Structure formats: structure tokens, C-alpha cells
Amino acid sequence: MASDGLTVTWPQCSDASDPLCWKYEPNYLNDTWVADKRDYGFMTLSLKGGPFLTTDHKGVGGVTTESGTYFFDKNTLQFTTSGATVLGVAFTPTDAANIYSVKVLTLTENTMQLAVKNKAKPEYAVLNYISKQYSDSWTPPPPPPSKPDDGFNPVFASGELLKMLTGGPTSPGRYWNLDVAGNPVDWIAKGKGWTVNKSSSYNWGWNDDWDNAVTDSYIRFDNISGQNYSRYQGGMLTKGTFTIDETKNEVTLVGNTLLQNPTSWMNPTTNTIKVIKGWPNTYNTKGVWFGTSYDAGKDEWLSFHYIMP
């Protein structure tokens, strides 16, 4: 049996065959007291010429290779050895009442569990094994497909994007601010972003200049006597219009841009912006992500997060 799956659990009972005995499955992330996750060697059980046991220890200090015999009582499920001990971890011989006599808890074609009685407590250490053949042929399953961020590449009904941006034909217009207090900028690659706030890219991306540039600034869309767009920044109001390509979720600002910071390499000077992430029904709390430049090699959008004030 190989050591790759060797772990330790502790059933809290005096008899491992007791139906009331509970078994604890270790959590390696939190339970630091369990055996280290590493190579503990291997043991070979053979019936060629006799029931022989050979153990190549790596987890027990001072012991390397042992050779001996074994006997398995199928009625009591007791596994006894002579001249060699089962593969264990560093504390197994120290804590075991009898390392030469263990209980078989489970046995399948590829796995085995042995229970070793603790000499001082009404507990059993459970050693979990996998066969070397299974270990050698095992390949990890492919990772689950990565899901894009919530709201990525949104689908809007006809006229829905226009209504989201403007508030609709009966609205006086809708104001939008850069999400300076939250997460104002992101690089959304293959549908997934990575920034969580402005400190994620500080200060090679977002910086104090950006904070200063967009303070008390806004953009505004309205649908009153045409599709109008305005930008208020640095005490100046600039006006223009906008169009929407619903097939691409693209908004073209005619004669205008998003909020500016000329000192930054991220400054969005493009007039055509793409709605990378949007929420037709929850825009009032989640806002909208406008993509301003695209890196085809990385399938990545530089995007700015605008929210309602």
C-alpha cells in the first residue's frame, strides 16, 4: 500500500467495531494536529511463499526497512504482524498500545483503513492507505470550468440598456459617479476581474491623482428630446449626445468621454465604451462596468465602475 493517502483520524470510542463509534475526517486547512501531508513510504503484503510483510518507513524516525510476516483474521478483522510493523506516522509507535496488532476498518480494491488502539486513551488512530497501483495511475480531475463574474456580458431586452442608463423617457436623466470609495477600476480577463478595491492597483493603476481628478464629478445620460450625454468635472460641464449598439452592448459618446485623468496611463480617451458587466434589475446597487480598451492577447478589458450617487 502506498503512503500518498496516509492520514490520521480518531474515533472516540473504546472499540472501533462499535456501531456507536464516530469517525472524524480531518480538515487539513484547519486541523494542524493531523499527520503532515507528505510521503510516508510504502508497505508490501505478499502471499508468495508465505504471508510476508515488507515495510519501507519514511514517517517513523530511526526506522527504515522492516521484513516480517502477518496474519489476518477475517472473523475478527484483526491484523497482526511479526518482525515488521504496518506503515505509520511518526507518533504511531509512541501512542500505540500494540503496533503489531491493528484492526481493519475498511478494505477495498484500492483503499484500506487500519485502526491502532491508543495506549493511554479510549481512542483509535486510523491510518488511511491507498494502493501503489492506484496512486501511480491516479490523475487529478480537471478543474471545474471557470465561471465569469456575475453580470459579465449582460443580456438586455430591447431598449433596456437605454432605460438603465437614462432612467427612461419620463426621467430627468440619470447621474453616475466613479466608484472611488469602492472598486473603481478592474482588468476583466476572460470574464473575471481581480481587483476588490482601489488599493488593489495602488498606485501604479489607481492613485491619488485619480481621487483628486474625479472628486465632485459625474456623468449623466438622459433621453429627453434625444439621447443626451454630459460630463461634469473640474467645475466644467461638457455636453454631447450618445448612441447605443444593442447588438454589442456598446455606447458611443458623441463629442465627449468618460471622466478624465490626463496624468494617468489609464485615462479613457475613447468615445466608444462597452458595457462589460451590467445588471438590468439591480443597477441601482451594483452599477455598471464600462470597458474602455481591450487586449485581444489576454482577452482582457480595462474597465471603470460607475455607480448611482
pLDDT at 146: 86
Query: What's the chain's average pLDDT?
Result: 89
Q: Judge if 240 and 274 occupy the same domain.
A: yes
Q: Judge if 169 and 282 occupy the same domain.
A: yes
Q: Judge if 77 and 131 occupy the same domain.
A: yes
Q: Judge if 297 and 175 occupy the same domain.
A: yes
What is the arrangement of strands in the sheet containing 8-9, beginning at the earlier edge strand? 8-9, 124-130, 111-117, 101-107, 78-82, 65-73, 52-57, 41-46
d(CA 6, CA 157): 55
Ordered DSSP codes for 217-263: -EEEEE-SSS-EEEEEETTEEEEEEEEEETTTTEEEEET--SS--TT
- 265 lies in some domain: yes
Q: Judge if 128 and 213 occupy the same domain.
A: no
- Over its length of 309 residues, how does the chain's per-residue pLDDT go in tens digits? 444 344 444 344 445 455 545 555 666 667 766 777 788 889 999 999 999 999 998 877 777 899 999 999 999 999 999 999 999 888 788 888 999 999 998 889 999 989 898 888 888 888 889 998 998 998 988 888 889 999 999 999 999 999 999 999 889 999 999 999 999 999 999 999 999 999 999 989 999 999 999 999 999 999 999 999 999 999 999 999 999 999 999 999 999 999 999 999 999 999 999 999 999 999 999 999 999 999 999 999 999 999 999
Q: Is the dihedral of CA 160, 162, 166, 169 positive or negative?
A: negative
- 145 lies in some domain: no
Instruction: Report helix, strand or coil for 285.
Output: helix
Q: Judge if 167 and 93 occupy the same domain.
A: no
- 147 lies in some domain: no
- 148 lies in some domain: no
- 29 lies in some domain: yes
Range of the domain at 123: 8-137
pLDDT at 91: 77
- 146 lies in some domain: no
* Structure-block grid coordinates of residue 70: 502477518
pLDDT at 12: 43
**195 and 301 in contact (C-beta within 8 Å)?**
no
Q: Judge if 193 and 302 occupy the same domain.
A: yes
Q: Judge if 90 and 217 occupy the same domain.
A: no
pLDDT at 15: 55
Into how many domains does the chain fold? 2
The model's pTM: 0.61
pLDDT at 286: 97
Instruction: Report helix, strand or coil for 49.
Output: coil
Question: In whole angstroms, what separates CA 304 from the centre of its chain?
Answer: 24
- 118 lies in some domain: yes
pLDDT at 4: 39
Question: In whole angstroms, what separates CA 39 from the centre of its chain?
Answer: 26
Look up the CATH number of the domain holding residue 198: 2.40.128
Domain final residue pick, 105, 137, 169: 137
